[in-house]
Amino acid sequence: MTRHWGPVWEGYFADPFVLRLPDGGYVAYGTHPGSEADRVFEALRSPDLVRWESAGAVLDRVDDRLGADYWAPEVAYAHGAYWMYYSVGRGIDGHHLRVAHAESPVGPFRDLGVDLTPDELFAIDAHPFQDDDGRWYLFFARDVLDHERPGTHLAVAPLAEGMTSLAGPPVPVLAPDADWQLYERDRLIHGRRFDWHTLEGPAVLRRGERYWLTYSGGAWTGPGYAVGVASSAHPLGPWKHVHQPALLASGGDLRGPGHNSLTVAPDGTDVIAFHSWNESATARQLHLGALRVEHDVRVEPSIRR
């Protein structure tokens, strides 16, 4: 066995979300710039997180008036069906969260015609999280202008039982608190200029009575992109940054690692999935690491046989 950071899939696979299936095995979903004409979001199947094969694109495209750029799919299994949460817009404009439904984890997923975040300026990176009591929550990233560090912040709202609407208004989860989370100085956005900070890609797990949230900060385009950690005693907060060195940062063969998801390996250990740029900075690829959660959170390279 050799320790490695990956990638575990050679193709382009950004914003990876890995779903552990109820009957065993895994499906990963990712953002891909070269999706099929009628469908988007490539899915990968794996029996063990080591061997992977493509299942093709799985979400039917929506009306082109909503946008042509589809980002960051995540899928929940509930009520015997699969629910995909994602955003669509045009470039960085118009992104809102939507939900699609399928009977199979590899689709076809069909959009249900619902804008989950009609009151947000910009909303991306939906993350459905189920607590131990069965309740579902939807974490996501949204733009906040009236703050000492304006930019993209994290929020959460309870999901309604039917999985297709929010059961309450979103509440703030986490705001940028450090210079490493700067996306761009003097950025022109929403008709104004800001020193723009970014937190995005939330993922949550519960261990014991503590909740842990991993997120990405900074500009996804470069080596400063990294993964940070926050913790809370409840999904609705209050959440606090865990001030430790970045959980994942550039170094060695990692280049701007970020936008992670969390799953559980066949042996019951926690796993973090994330993307990192390839050596030529032309593609973001899927990597896996072993996650250690105790009084803090650590990550180690995965082990490939």
Between strands 151-158 and 192-207, the pairing is parallel
Alpha-carbon distance 84 to 81, whole Å? 10
- Average pLDDT (30-37) is 80
Determine the pLDDT at residue 2: 33
Q: Specify the length of the chain in residues.
A: 305
| Phi-psi map region of 262: left, alpha, beta (phi>0 left; psi -120 to 50 alpha) | beta
DSSP class of residue 159? B
CB contact at 8 A, 285 and 13: yes
Alpha-carbon distance 283 to 240, whole Å? 33
Q: Tens of pLDDT along 118-144?
A: 999 999 999 999 999 999 999 999 999
Alpha-carbon distance 48 to 58, whole Å? 21
| Phi-psi map region of 279: left, alpha, beta (phi>0 left; psi -120 to 50 alpha) | alpha
Which domains, ranges and CATH numbers included, belong to the chain?
A: 2-304 (2.115.10.20)
User: Which pLDDT band, with edges at 50, 70 and 90, does 253 fall under?
Assistant: confident
Q: Tens of pLDDT along 271-296?
A: 999 999 999 999 999 999 999 887 77
User: Whole-prediction pTM value?
Assistant: 0.95
List the structure tokens of 216. 């990405």
Determine the pLDDT at residue 1: 28
**Amino acid in position 132:** D
Q: Tens of pLDDT along 144-163?
A: 999 999 999 999 999 999 99
